[in-house]
Structure 1
Amino acid sequence: MSETTAATIVPRHALAGGLILTGLILQVAQFTGLFPLAHAVSYCLWLATALLWVDIPRRTRRQAGILAALGLGLLVMARTWHGARIDWPGILDGNTYVVAMLVGVSFIGLIGNLRGRSRPAGKALTGARGVLGTWLGVHLLGSILNLSTVFMVGDRLERRGPLTTPQLLGLNRGLSSAALWSPFFASMGVVMTLAPAMHYAIILAFGLPLAMVSGMLTVGELSRRFELADTAGFSLSPRSLLMPVCMAGLVMLFHYVITPTLSIVSIITFLLPGVALLSNLPRGARWTLRRVHQHTLNRLPAMRSEISLFLCAGLLTQGLSSFITAATDSTWTLFAHFGPLEAVASFLTIVLSAVAGLHPIIGVSVLASMLDLDAGQQTLFAFVGLASWAVGTSVGPLSGINLSLQGRYGVSGTTMMRHNLGYAAVMALLVVVSIIGLDAWL
């Protein structure tokens, strides 16, 4: 960054960037168990969002404001109508761990390109092969690195120009379909907690083939709907995969050997910035600090849209979860028996709620709270949860993947929902068939 550019930095942006970086550092410090101020991360991130609020695009600002207002209103109703105990100092904590991960992932930009140049690597795949490459790359790497892979692949594609609708749909579906089987996804962590007696091998036997069908469906559908001749895709060449595969290997090493008690999201949060710093240190400590300083002043404030959307969506989730928990605190169960019909009804309800704007985690958690499952029913419930997550996050305008695409690349969540409705309908039909088959297997 030149001195002229540095002189034009708005002090408010510099302060916000420093707060975002502080939030990341505090989040990493919490992993050690030595940091006692539990809400400091969220306070830093929310204060940074407040400083950057006027710079957020009007459409995004309006949506984020509505999410935050609804979440706060639901918390107030849960307290006044149902007497729920609300942890008011902690209501801003929702999604802070995801935001911290996104901030950590942004440091990928400091790995390589040490002179600040971005060059497309070789001739890109185009057409149906390009779409398949994008889907497969995001799916395989995303099954381990989760949401960070979307940015790694998306940013590489964006070097050749603004992302097109087929490219965005490939990113969306490649990641969301991995929720059907990946043991590293948040969806699997949720269902394993809610259904500890589930059999993962059975889930894998049904979920992985269904995910592969999702990929074939995506390539076939996009080839019919769009002219893909000039649509660049992600090349699964050794050069393209080198950095992501190395990062995936490091994540696996930390997850299984070095820090097995930490989640994948937590590992990514500290590992990617750490690798970025180490890759710059050979140029000297002053060089490394200067690049971090530039990143803090420029890139971190530029993340204001995605940060605001995730934080405000987290507040909505907090409010909705508190209200539903308070309103349904009883001993009755939704179904006397959880069989295939009940499973299909539950799956469709959660997907429809995702289309309406609720994250599938809400539907899955509420469903679990209203069921009394024996060990034999937990695998079926787990598959319903994973399938509704995979389909619901692809089409839901407020899902993590669509919020990320909106904040990072400027695509409307409503636009993504509209383009994914047909895909979601076909996937829903396949899931229904899979539920019937799984119940027969069990």
Structure 2
Amino acid sequence: MQSRFFPAIPPPARRDALAGILLTLMIAASVAPGVSLLPAGLLGWAAALLLSYRLGRRQRIQSAWLIGLGGAGIAWGTLHGTPFKASPIFASNQGLVSLLAAVSFLRLVARPGGMDLDLPAPRGRKALWRTLLGVHLFGAVINLSTVVILGDRMATRGRLGKRRALALTRGFAAAAFWSPFFSAMAAALTYAPGARLSVVVLAGLPMAALALWLTTRDIDPEDPKLGAPFIGYPMRFSALWIPGLLVLIVLTVHALVPDWSILAIIAFSAPLLTILILIAQRGFEAWPPLREHIARGLASTVNELALFLAAGVLAAGLISVTGSLGDWLPFERFGAPQASLLLIVMVGAAALGVHPVIAIASFGVWLAPLHPEPNLLAITLLMSWAIGVPANPLSGLHLMMQGRYGIDGYAFLRWNAGYVLKCLGVAIALLHVYAALLGA
């Protein structure tokens, strides 16, 4: 609608392009060390408003609740003596949001199977392991798009069987135990300040290995009682040089500039590496795919963008409320028993449909006055995400599987119940081991 007083609302394609430009500027504004994240946060919020038409009803309601609860907390705290600050409201999750947008550029250059779509689909245990490792390793860097790439190739008439669906979703979710490029790691490092990436990654690898092994046992392709034979993905592990190079760059830069946060290094390195590879591969033809991604590809991150921004408002509200409560804390200390209880509560909340980032923001803020051992807290938060996603029937991963392949999200809750309980049991045991090693 257009009048003399109200300009016409830009069409969807224009809104996507404008939001893409804002998100690109947001990444640039968030990577400089020692600079306030408030400008980057405002750019992210402007992009989210432009893309709000893309949000589904569930995402709108969830984001509105988070913002409303956060706003109520801020008002309560302000009325009870907590100073009002704008920066936590608009930028408390900015490192996470910038990481999400920056890593999406890697889709342009990291392809698990290349372009050889005519290769025969492999079968059997070897195919299962190659598919699991493929979705795990590529998903650890280029995130959810890996599941779509592999799922579309493995689907039969647009449908995936139980075995293939579980291999893709569990293999992908297990990367949250350790991947520096996952939103899970960004959230853990945000709400466990001082945690060391190397320690957290090494602690997560055994859990990831266990998760993959449990999955191969549950969907044994040689067992005829479990259904149709497993048909895997023709994985090309030679393409892993790009994710491997990015990991090397991030670790090298972090060693040279330890004061530069890991999240900022990744947000800077991922788009830059993508641009350099495209120039090396295509020369003057590198610009069209970059332009396409900025104009359309970045808009596809809107669901996560809105959720993480809204969760940041909730975190700001919780900070304001806890600041007005004086010395009251949920625990007297944060050791292995408390970490185990926290993990159980967060996975239970995930099974009820609560997104892990909401639980992480809530408990991370709540526990901050205790000054918990940061590595133990970060490991616990990562475990809650990696185990909670398979338990969550309403996670973005399962909603994508439902919309694209017709698998009900609550089917995953049934299928993954035993897997989740086994992972929980081992995770609690490992938390006690880690706490002893860390002196927590």
Specify if TM > 0.5.
Answer: yes
Q: Report if the CA contact (8 A) 2:390-2:420 is conserved.
A: yes
Q: Which runs of 5+ in 1 are unaligned?
A: 1-9
Q: Which residue of 2 aligns with 1:157?
A: 150
Q: Which residue of 2 aligns with 1:308?
A: 306
Q: Is 1:213 matched with 2:206?
A: no
TM value normalised by structure 1: 0.72
Q: Which residue of 1 aligns with 2:264?
A: 266
Q: Report if the CA contact (8 A) 1:108-1:272 is conserved.
A: yes
Q: Report if the CA contact (8 A) 2:99-2:264 is conserved.
A: yes
1:157 Cα shift?
0.9
Identity of aligned residues (%): 25
**In the superposition, relative to structure 1, how do residues 73 and 173 fare at CA in structure 2: closer, same or farther (>3 Å)?**
farther
TM value normalised by structure 2: 0.73
Q: Which residue of 2 aligns with 1:75?
A: 74
Q: Which residue of 2 aligns with 1:277?
A: 275
**In the superposition, relative to structure 1, how do residues 16 and 353 fare at CA in structure 2: closer, same or farther (>3 Å)?**
same
Q: 1:105 aligns with which of 103, 106, 127?
A: 103
Q: 2 CA distance for matches of 1:190 and 1:304?
A: 21
Q: Report if the CA contact (8 A) 1:333-1:372 is conserved.
A: no
Aligned runs of 1:281-292 on 2, under 5 Å? Answer: 281=279, 283-285=282-284, 287-292=285-290
1:215 Cα shift?
1.6
**In the superposition, relative to structure 1, how do residues 340 and 70 fare at CA in structure 2: closer, same or farther (>3 Å)?**
closer
Q: Which residue of 1 aligns with 2:22?
A: 22
Where 2:143 maps in the other structure, the secondary structure is: helix
1:409 Cα shift?
8.5
Aligned length: 410
**In the superposition, relative to structure 1, how do residues 278 and 330 fare at CA in structure 2: closer, same or farther (>3 Å)?**
same
Q: 2 CA distance for matches of 1:168 and 1:90?
A: 39
Amino acid at match of 1:319: G
1:365 Cα shift?
2.5
Q: What's the Cα RMSD here?
A: 4.4
Aligned runs of 1:342-361 on 2, under 5 Å? Answer: 342-356=338-352, 357=354, 359=357, 360-361=359-360
Q: 2:391 aligns with which of 395, 407, 413?
A: 395
Q: Report if the CA contact (8 A) 1:124-1:233 is conserved.
A: yes
Q: Which residue of 2 aligns with 1:326?
A: 323
**In the superposition, relative to structure 1, how do residues 183 and 56 fare at CA in structure 2: closer, same or farther (>3 Å)?**
closer
Q: 2 CA distance for matches of 1:382 and 1:302?
A: 28
Q: Deviations over 1:121-167 (max 9, x none)?
A: 7344445544433443454566xxx5x34346324314525684655
Q: Deviations over 1:205-258 (max 9, x none)?
A: x754443222211222244896463543473x433423333333333333334x
Q: Which residue of 2 aligns with 1:238?
A: 237
Q: Which residue of 1 aligns with 2:5?
A: none
Q: Which runs of 5+ in 2 are unaligned?
A: 1-9
Q: Report if the CA contact (8 A) 2:30-2:95 is conserved.
A: no
Where 2:90 maps in the other structure, the secondary structure is: coil
Q: Which residue of 1 aligns with 2:43?
A: 44
Where 2:42 maps in the other structure, the secondary structure is: helix
Q: 1:427 aligns with which of 419, 423, 427?
A: 423
Q: Deviations over 1:287-319 (max 9, x none)?
A: 333333322332223433333233233333333
Q: 2 CA distance for matches of 1:269 and 1:251?
A: 10
Q: Deviations over 1:182-222 (max 9, x none)?
A: 788447646874679x9959x95x75444322221122224
Q: Which residue of 1 aligns with 2:4?
A: none
Q: Which residue of 2 aligns with 1:298?
A: 296
1:91 Cα shift?
1.1
Q: 1 CA distance for matches of 2:421 and 2:379?
A: 18
Q: 2 CA distance for matches of 1:276 and 1:409?
A: 31
Q: Deviations over 1:352-408 (max 9, x none)?
A: 3444525353465256446477xxx8887676555445433543568xxx4467579
